[in-house]
Structure 1
Amino acid sequence: MSEPFSVNQNPFDLLGLAVSYAIEKHAIERAYLARIASAHPDRVGDAGAIDAAALNDARRCLLDDESRANAVLRVLGGPSASEDRSLPDGFLMEMMEIRSAMEEELNEDPESARVKWGRWGAEERGKYADEFRRRIQDPDSLGACRTILNAWRYIERLIEQLDPGYDPARADFR
């Protein structure tokens, strides 16, 4: 999922929510519904339609764990992915080995490999989400949080590529 917000936009503010990674999805939905009802064009005229689009983008951003993490980091003043491309030590070598094993298994037994590597990807996603959740509490760890998010994005790409309908020409490589 791409980041729909400019550096100056804050999806938490748009929905009236506190900046937090550990926000429940039902709270996001509740805030969205309250805001979207007040932005209906019948109530506010043409200006409300623009607000509704921004509210839809904010909702979409905050419902996605990775996008929400990126939004939290951005709002707190952390580096963007384009400003800091760092990855954990040894990460790329490990990913090269995993990709090689994944491709070999996909060639041998695609269905079993997709299940196996999909589970692996979900576990890795969870590890990075948990690590981000812990680290974002420390204002001195914003750089480390960016490194976590960069690795997380890499894992998401691997998961996307397991889809038999995956088309790299149409992929979202934030």
Structure 2
Amino acid sequence: MPEVDPFKALGLAPTFDLDAARVERAYLARVASIHPDLGLDAESEGDEAAGLNEARRTLLDPESRVIAFLSLLGYTDEDKSLPDGFLIEIMEVRMEFEQALVDEDAQQIAHWRSWAADRRRESIETISALFREHAVSGDRALLARIKQSLNAWRYIERMIEQGGAPSR
């Protein structure tokens, strides 16, 4: 997690469920509050602006936001586990996707890109639901499930990045 709490830096309540427009509004409001015409010294202004930029980057990226929110909740486990059966599934999918790329099979490439986009969306929805459930129950085991879901999601993101699939 960044050194600064990105939620606090932008004056936002800590939650995974943040839309980009809300983050941008909070960012712009905070940046306006450190404008040089307000009398801050250049060094302080630069440091604060850098912190706000980092907070904005963190909260706009759902993957980074998960990490920041988990850390804020006190979950810093370096667990690399994956959901049951996921590793075999992703290895098979990657092989088929890579073969489609080698073969320049536009139909199969489109299929696997769509599959990856669907899995990304499902990962975000799952993590969001688990965070909401945790907010109600306080069950710390849910944080481990969130981390496990994040680990799987990262495999999907790497597939998208390496396969030239459309970005978020």
Contact 2:127 2:150 in 1 (8 A): yes
Indicate yes or no: 2:126 matched with 1:131: yes
Identity of matched residues, %: 43
- Does 1:17 pair with 2:12? yes
Q: Which runs of 4+ in 1 moved over 6 A?
A: none
Q: Tell me the CA shift for residue 90 of structure 1.
A: 1.2
Is the CA contact 2:7–2:14 (under 8 Å) kept in the aligned structure 1?
yes
Give unpaired runs (5+ residues) of structure 1. 165-174
Counterpart AA for 2:61: D
Code of the residue aligned with 1:45 in structure 2: it is D
Q: How much has 1:42 moved relative to structure 2?
A: 3.8
Shift of 1:120: 1.2
Q: Report the aligned-residue RMSD.
A: 1.6
TM-score by length of 1: 0.84
Match of 1:45 among 34, 41, 46: 41
| 1:105 pairs with one of 100, 103, 115 | 100
Amino acid at match of 2:152: A
Q: TM-score, normalised by structure 2?
A: 0.86
2:57 maps to amino acid: R
Relative contact order, CA 8 A, sep 6+: which one is greater? 1
Letter in 1 for 2:72: V
**2:57 alignment counterpart:** 60
Structure 2 partner of 1:78: 75
Task: Give the paired residue count.
Answer: 157
